[in-house]
A and B are shown apart, each in its own frame.
Chain A
Amino acid sequence: MSIFLPISGGQAAAVHQLEAFTLAGQTGLAVTPQVARSFAATLAGRTLLAITPTATYKVPVALAGGTALAITPKLAGEPNASFGVMEFASAAGLTITPALAINVAAVLASGTLLAVTPSITREEEPSFTFVVTVIDAALAAAQDSNTRSYSARLFANGTPIPVVSLSINAPPDAMGLEVSAVLASADAAALFPLDAVVDVEVGLWDGSGFIWQRFVSGGALSARSRRLLISNNLPADTVEVNIVDIVADRWNRAPRQNVFVYDPDKVARPSDESLREQNVYTSAGAVVSAQAVAVSNLRLHEVLRRAYVEGCGFSAVRTNIENFPVEQVSFTLSGGYDAAVRPLLQAFTPVRFPVSNDLWIVDADTPLPAGLAARAATLSSFLDISDTFPSRVPTNAIIVRLRRETSGGEFFTERVETETTSTGQFGSPGYTSTLTERRVREYRSDTEPWKVVREEVVSLKTTITDHEFRVISRETQVDSLDNLGRRSGYARTVEMLLPDLNADGTPLLQTAEEEDQVIYYDPLDPARDRQSRVETRTAGLILVDNDNEYLGRPFRLPFLDAHRSGQIDTDADQTTEFGEIRTTVVSLRGTGGQLQRERRVINHISNAPDIITVEPVPGSSEVSRARGAGTRAVLLTVAGTDGRGRRAAEFDGTALPNATALRLAGQKLVRLNSPPRELQGQMTFADLTMRRGLELILAGRGGVVLGKYIVRGWTLTVRRAEGGAVEALMSIQARERVN
């Protein structure tokens, strides 16, 4: 017999429901709910059953022939205790009265020890949090000064190391800081052992001395390069060091063993055999066993707490993201805590930043309280502002991938990988840093959801910045897969720093090319999944040279080609337009191990075919289909989106509850049609109070408000300029707040 016991509190919103309360062989249970989250139950015809689980969401208890059971699981200082499943076979006279602590031992009347390990779940209390920046008077006065002078210093194991230049980078979508520094003397490298504990400070002159602001405490050396050169017949050796902020970078940590946390009410416990497969062996032969942890009523906030507080060592996770149910999550040795949690969060595109030892994960589009003004920033604070409305994708529908409850096939979750590489010497012209963000789809089977069966890269974003951290190129490719798990094409956008003909050739980040690829499969043989045609359409910026006519019309050529070949002349009558450049069609025909591959390229600027090649190649155009897709697709349209759009975008909601996925997909559809603007600004001074997550209201010319933004990242470079003076350059990257 299973009875669901609703408990009502003083308010309608405080209604809770217990899980199954199983009383084998018992009848006549009367329950008298009293106030919120506590009740007394009487077992008619039997000995009294009294339970006073103050603030307990659920107490699933199975009694077989039990008599005289009394439980008072009120834990001191913990308002909300969930005791998991307690089973008492032939229990008689059992009393549990834990006063404190998580582990509860109960003695049965027969004398057998029963160990209960209840999980403690904090009661969801209405709350909000002040994020307070307290600025010391000395720094505030120095920041307000009209003349600013800066300095920077490094400490290795407490020993000061003189530097020529130092740059601190707070990249978006990361939590720690990256520091690069060129040491003033090559000899200083000797003071920098590989295990040095590094502190980084930037100073601001207040008229009598420097006010030092610490940016990195306890950092570690991540790279060191030495350059030996002669300049003006004198040695001019340099040593560059890179430092990683290991304290803030704790989010990269991984568990000591593979851990699978799951909700036993929703998914089955992994079998012992599949757990054994996840075991790892040390070189000495000892086994590091995989662990399965059952958590009833598993929800996002509990997953975040386990990942970032228990796993990574933060004091608390502060988030305004809704606390939705989670079926399972895998903390693996290779992926770590963060990689396991990201698929649950990525749909919210949150901003993450540490405050003291708390980790903040903020959905930046929630509004500020009425009457509260964000920090005001005016044009006088900036040398250069680029306020970009990103490429808009007119779309009137979105396909939402939802996970089926029970399908017996495959489903997928996604993870994001990032890597940074650099070339050239840091701080010098020619230096570039390339950030690659790769979204990887992990296919899993319903029967063993903790194992990745195969992987597909579904999007790739490459951003290249120069020595002053300006974006010089950004390439985004989003691959699409159809319902059968086959590749169906991609959409690629290339933005580059190119001459702006409307501003005398001043470099401006512009959308240079957009490419759409569609892959067709042979419709006459649907069971074989044979690829028959690949069509790739490329559009982009076109240079129109009105001074140079060809066949009576202004000469036109792709802007990128004109830029590379030096044909852009800002004094000439040249303009740009965005249009079709070329279409490439590759057709595949044939069977029996040989294909005829025909490739045609049509140049839309000259209206002529460029290349036609026909060649026989060995091989097959057949692809292997994924095993029974465990997702279902829902087409969602939202009133007010662009009806002229003909594309249907895709939203992966497989990691989310269906209702949450549908709501977020609706938000994404609106954003595709009206994406939030991105701001890149180079400041006139170095603001030492800058941080990720800072709210800004930016006023433009004449005080007209340009918009509300949230800072996602920043860079600060302190270096010795020509003439010997020390200069500080700061730039910020921010995203428009939607609300």
Chain B
Amino acid sequence: MEITDTNGAVVSNVPIEIAEGEESQIVVARIPCVAGYYLAAEENATVTVLARVTGSGASFADIADEPVDLSPYADGLVSFDFKVSAGLVTEMQLLSVAVRVTRNP
């Protein structure tokens, strides 16, 4: 089970540069969905990872606070839109935030 991009290539690290208070461009990734698993992101004080099902028209949700239950999509490969929202900082910061398909969000 791997997370892939729209070309089927495995996604491992996604470098993003953003100014404070702004949002990044949208990155689309295909998520392998299994019943009982959730799509979740690590908590981070400076940046927030937002996601929604591609084409759903739904608003983006903070998946650290509200992990997405993947059970309704079980056994499917579902595309999600991701973007990163940065808070305010007093100096440049380098951060890493993991996005996981996990049973323990």
Chain A contacts to B: CB under 8 angstroms: 9-11, 13-14, 35-36, 55, 77-79, 123, 125-137, 139-140, 212-214, 318, 320, 355-356, 358, 360, 362, 366-375, 688-689, 691, 693-695, 739
Closest to B87 in A: A134
Taking A131-B13, A137-B19 as known contacts, 10 extra A-B pairs with beta carbons closer than 8 A to each other, sorted by chain A number, are A77-B104, A126-B3, A127-B3, A134-B46, A135-B19, A140-B19, A355-B94, A369-B9, A375-B17, A739-B9
A36-B34, A135-B92 known; A13 and B28 CB under 8 Å? no
Name A129's contact: one of B5, B75, B98 (CB within 8 Å): B98
Q: Once the chains bind, are B92 and A689 in contact (CB under 8 Å)? A: yes
Q: Once the chains bind, are A694 and B18 in contact (CB under 8 Å)? A: no
A132-B16, A133-B16, A213-B92 known; A369 and B103 CB under 8 Å? no
Q: Once the chains bind, are A356 and B101 in contact (CB under 8 Å)? A: no
Size bracket, chain B contacts: 35 or more
Q: Once the chains bind, are B92 and A318 in contact (CB under 8 Å)? A: no
Measured between alpha carbons, how far is A78 from B104 in the docked complex, in Å? Answer: 8
B87 nearest CB across to chain A (Å): 8
Chain B contacts to A: CB under 8 angstroms: 1-3, 5-7, 9-21, 24-29, 31-32, 34-36, 46-47, 49, 74-75, 82, 84, 86-87, 89-104
A10-B35, A369-B5, A370-B7 known; A356 and B13 CB under 8 Å? no
Contacts of A689 in B (CB 8 A): 17, 92
A11-B75, A79-B104, A689-B17 known; A369 and B34 CB under 8 Å? no
Contacts of A375 in B (CB 8 A): 17
Q: Once the chains bind, are B92 and A136 in contact (CB under 8 Å)? A: yes
Name B92's contact: one of A9, A139, A694 (CB within 8 Å): A139
Q: Once the chains bind, are B14 and A130 in contact (CB under 8 Å)? A: yes
Contacts of B92 in A (CB 8 A): 133-136, 139, 213, 688-689
Contacts of A128 in B (CB 8 A): 3, 11-14, 29, 98-99
- Residue of A127, A134, A140 with highest tally of chain B CB at under 10 A: A134
Contacts of A79 in B (CB 8 A): 102-104
Q: Once the chains bind, are B84 and A130 in contact (CB under 8 Å)? A: yes
Contacts of A368 in B (CB 8 A): 14-15
A170 nearest CB across to chain B (Å): 13
A123-B103, A370-B9 known; A131 and B15 CB under 8 Å? yes
Measured between alpha carbons, how far is A127 from B11 in the docked complex, in Å? Answer: 8
A350 nearest CB across to chain B (Å): 12
Measured between alpha carbons, how far is A659 from B31 in the docked complex, in Å? Answer: 27
Contacts of B35 in A (CB 8 A): 10
Q: Once the chains bind, are A55 and B103 in contact (CB under 8 Å)? A: yes
Q: Once the chains bind, are B12 and A320 in contact (CB under 8 Å)? A: yes
Q: Once the chains bind, are A133 and B91 in contact (CB under 8 Å)? A: no
Measured between alpha carbons, how far is A212 from B18 in the docked complex, in Å? Answer: 19
Name B94's contact: one of A13, A137, A356 (CB within 8 Å): A356
Closest to B42 in A: A129
B105 nearest CB across to chain A (Å): 10
A128-B12, A129-B96 known; A134 and B28 CB under 8 Å? no
Q: Once the chains bind, are A132 and B12 in contact (CB under 8 Å)? A: no
A133-B17, A134-B47, A694-B15 known; A10 and B94 CB under 8 Å? no
Closest to B83 in A: A130
Name A691's contact: one of B86, B94, B100, B103 (CB within 8 Å): B94
A36-B34, A129-B99 known; A318 and B13 CB under 8 Å? yes
Name A133's contact: one of B3, B29, B94, B104 (CB within 8 Å): B94
Q: Once the chains bind, are A356 and B29 in contact (CB under 8 Å)? A: no
Q: Once the chains bind, are B101 and A125 in contact (CB under 8 Å)? A: yes
5 A-B pairs with CB atoms under 8 Å apart are A79-B104, A127-B98, A130-B98, A132-B96, A356-B93
Contacts of A369 in B (CB 8 A): 5, 9, 11, 14, 27-29
Closest to A366 in B: B12
A585 nearest CB across to chain B (Å): 51
Measured between alpha carbons, how far is A318 from B101 in the docked complex, in Å? Answer: 16
Contacts of B75 in A (CB 8 A): 10-11
Measured between alpha carbons, how far is A355 from B93 in the docked complex, in Å? Answer: 9
4 closest cross-chain pairs (CB), A and B:
A320-B12, A369-B5, A127-B100, A126-B101
Name B28's contact: one of A133, A366, A370 (CB within 8 Å): A370
Closest to B46 in A: A134
Q: Once the chains bind, are A371 and B28 in contact (CB under 8 Å)? A: yes
Q: Once the chains bind, are B100 and A126 in contact (CB under 8 Å)? A: yes
Q: Once the chains bind, are A133 and B18 in contact (CB under 8 Å)? A: yes
Closest to A54 in B: B103
A134-B47, A136-B89 known; A355 and B14 CB under 8 Å? no
Measured between alpha carbons, how far is A233 from B12 in the docked complex, in Å? Answer: 62
Closest to A688 in B: B92
Measured between alpha carbons, how far is A36 from B35 in the docked complex, in Å? Answer: 10
B39 nearest CB across to chain A (Å): 10
Q: Once the chains bind, are B21 and A131 in contact (CB under 8 Å)? A: no
Q: Once the chains bind, are A126 and B19 in contact (CB under 8 Å)? A: no
Q: Once the chains bind, are B15 and A214 in contact (CB under 8 Å)? A: no
Contacts of A360 in B (CB 8 A): 13, 96
Closest to A78 in B: B104
Q: Once the chains bind, are A127 and B104 in contact (CB under 8 Å)? A: no
B21 nearest CB across to chain A (Å): 7
Closest to B32 in A: A126
Q: Once the chains bind, are A14 and B1 in contact (CB under 8 Å)? A: yes
Measured between alpha carbons, how far is A631 from B75 in the docked complex, in Å? Answer: 43
Q: Once the chains bind, are A132 and B86 in contact (CB under 8 Å)? A: yes
Contacts of B18 in A (CB 8 A): 132-135
Measured between alpha carbons, how far is A600 from B15 in the docked complex, in Å? Answer: 57
A125-B101, A130-B84, A318-B96 known; A136 and B3 CB under 8 Å? no
A693 nearest CB across to chain B (Å): 8
Measured between alpha carbons, how far is A55 from B82 in the docked complex, in Å? Answer: 28
A135 nearest CB across to chain B (Å): 5
Contacts of A140 in B (CB 8 A): 19
Measured between alpha carbons, how far is A695 from B17 in the docked complex, in Å? Answer: 10
Contacts of A371 in B (CB 8 A): 5-6, 25-28
A125-B100, A369-B28 known; A136 and B20 CB under 8 Å? yes
Contacts of A374 in B (CB 8 A): 15
Q: Once the chains bind, are A134 and B15 in contact (CB under 8 Å)? A: no
Contacts of A11 in B (CB 8 A): 1, 32, 34, 75
Measured between alpha carbons, how far is A79 from B105 in the docked complex, in Å? Answer: 10
Contacts of B97 in A (CB 8 A): 129-130, 132
Contacts of B26 in A (CB 8 A): 371
A77-B104, A137-B20 known; A132 and B94 CB under 8 Å? yes
Measured between alpha carbons, how far is A374 from B15 in the docked complex, in Å? Answer: 8
Measured between alpha carbons, how far is A125 from B101 in the docked complex, in Å? Answer: 6
Measured between alpha carbons, how far is A325 from B10 in the docked complex, in Å? Answer: 20
Contacts of A691 in B (CB 8 A): 94
Measured between alpha carbons, how far is A634 from B98 in the docked complex, in Å? Answer: 39
Measured between alpha carbons, how far is A367 from B11 in the docked complex, in Å? Answer: 8
Closest to A710 in B: B15
